[in-house]
Amino acid sequence: MDRKLDPSRDDLPLMANTSHILVKHYALDLEVDFESQVMEGTIVLFFAPDDPENRFRKKDSSTEETCQSESSEACTARMPEPCHVPGTSTRTFSSKTGYNDFAMCGKGEKDTSGKDGNHDNWEQASGISSSKYCCDTGNHGSEDFVLVLDCCDLSVLKVEEVDVAAVPGIEKFTRSPKLTVVSELRNQIVHELVTLPADRWREQLDYFACCSQAPGCGELLFDTDTWSLQIRKRGAQTATDFPHAVRIWYRTKPQGRSVTWTSDQSGRPCVYTMGSPINNRALFPCQEPPVAMSTWQATVRAAASFVVLMSGENSAKPTQLQEGCSSWHYYVTMPMPASTFTIAVGSWTEVKAETCSSNDLAAERRGFSPSDADFGCVGVCCHMEYPCRFQNASATTQEIIPHRVFAPVCLQGACQGTLLPLVPPCLSAAYSVLRTHPFSRLDVLVVPANFPSLGMASPHIIFLSQSMLTGRSHLCGTRLCHEIAHAWFGLAIGARDWTEEWLSEGFATHLEDVFWAKAQQLAPHEAREQQELRACLRWRRLQDEVRSSPEEMQVLRNKQAGPKVHAETQGTQNSQNNLEEE
């Protein structure tokens, strides 16, 4: 189903068939090459067939939250024959891998064909016209089940099933040792792994890492079009039968619209993700609908002179692999939409205060990871089970979460004088209003000059425009407060339909005034005067925008359907879940 979109009229198609199968975890292993401006490597997706009735459960499994899945119910997929990458994979699983450390991954062989899957050879071998062949994307029918992922501007080289049963010690996840069908055994292992309780999050991440390096056990058929990647396995007629662990070998393209290759303000090369046009589907094959909540871990290799920042719960440190090359590893245990994944690689400099205050030192001492947490029953949450900070007794008293500020070298002084002193009071102000911070840490990065927004909030990281550093602290402080507010409204709580994103923006816009007044320690009457003035200015700006904007641009196009696409699979062209403001 190859569609050409008119950005002024059409919505971004959400192709992934999330009503049948859901990604529970992504394991990325990428290498950043600034010379060719590509990221290349693998991604392993761990699946579970979707059960809408059981998708969200509390710990005691007594309460269920109903959530309508977004789906592509009628998807015409073109299924060719397998692709063969010359040579053997250098990515092999080692039985020596320890479960307390994340093992490193090797770089795969490059595809010398120059094609995205040798489509012509597949069609000739199968005797089927790829433009007419149609497979069942649901749970019924005589044709093979087709996994549909959102994908654009990627070169997919190879897709294979992962032999998770080859991981040492993994047999503890087999509830039925009498299973004789190997594929069913592998799927049961993945099912047990993705459903581990929250207090075993570290064990789960370690096994995800080991499984992501397990050897392949058979190539899968795949095909791509403009907006999707379609994968199937011969004989797997339902989502339950489909492999629950799949490895995709791929590379990004320099012109990929999810990734921006540029130079920083010091003239050094850098790259960052900006998912606004098409979310993250040009960074890795994924399920884009906001209902598809997953965790992830990522290993990224780059030249040793670069710093890798990412939406991860840990403050990663580089590991030297060989001379001139370093590796960075991040992970997330809070299920999030794939569109919130963010990465920035560049010659960033960490901006540090000349002297550390006692409050800053106390905040750093109070920093902790989920492994240090006491997940007692502080409160009851109705979301799916994961190591939730709102149920964490220690997190409830953490007024200022650990934070770092990064910028190009030439902006280090400006950040030191303007931005860095504002982060603690803004975080403290947010805590005084909303209490527990949803995320355990925060990085703030001043992005290159071509960044098209004032700021963008993602899990554990905020992008800020360099324009925030000019003038008085008021401009920088209010924007920082706005992005901090998105941790609660937009990330921890997000719209089920992206056309409702205005709700998140509305809450964040209101709270930026509230937070900033608290950070300035204004008297109540001063805070009220400031908020009224800013509300008046916003109202006048809105009136000007309405007068100068076409009417069709003033309405969010909710649930617009194109041919053969269910209405509820549609998102908005300019919407995203990692929250950008013009």
Residue 149 Cα distances to 54, 241, 243, 425, angstroms:
22, 17, 14, 42
Quick one: DSSP state of residue 281?
A: T
Q: Is residue 176 within 8 Å of 184, Cβ to Cβ?
A: no
- Please indicate whether residue 483 is annotated as part of the active site: yes
Helix axes 201-212, 182-194, angle to 10 degrees: 140
3-state SS of 76-117 is CCCCCCCCCCCCCCCCCCCCCCCCCCCCCCCCCCCCCCCCCC
At 420, which helix (H) or strand (E)?
Answer: none
Question: Distance (Å, rounded) from C-alpha 44 to C-alpha 193?
Answer: 14
Q: Got the DSSP string for 283-336?
A: TS-B--STT-EEEEEEEEEEETT-EEEES-SS----EEEETTEEEEEEEEEEEE
Residues paired with residue 28 on neighbouring β-strands, in sequence order: 43, 298
Q: Is residue 162 within 8 Å of 216, Cβ to Cβ?
A: yes
Query: What tokens appear for 269 in the block?
Result: 């090369």
Question: Distance (Å, rounded) from C-alpha 372 to C-alpha 353?
Answer: 27
Looking from the CA of 442 toward its CB, the CA atoms found within 13 Å total 27
Query: What tokens appear for 192 in the block?
Result: 């047990």
Q: Got the DSSP string for 241-252?
A: TS-SEEEEEEEE
Question: Distance (Å, rounded) from C-alpha 128 to C-alpha 136?
Answer: 16
Annotated catalytic residue, options 31, 313, 483, 568: 483
Query: What tokens appear for 288 in the block?
Result: 């884009």
Helix axes 423-434, 358-365, angle to 10 degrees: 60
Question: Distance (Å, rounded) from C-alpha 209 to C-alpha 44?
Answer: 10
Sequence-distant (6+) residues with CB within 8 A of 356 are none
Query: What tokens appear for 569 in the block?
Result: 């699979």
Q: Got the DSSP string for 453-476?
A: SSEEEETTEEEE-GGGGSS-HHHH
Pick the closest to residue 486 from 465, 509, 514, 466 (CA basis).
509
Q: Is residue 550 within 8 Å of 537, Cβ to Cβ?
A: no
Other CB atoms within a 10 A radius of the CB of residue 471 amount to 10
Q: Active-site positions?
A: 483
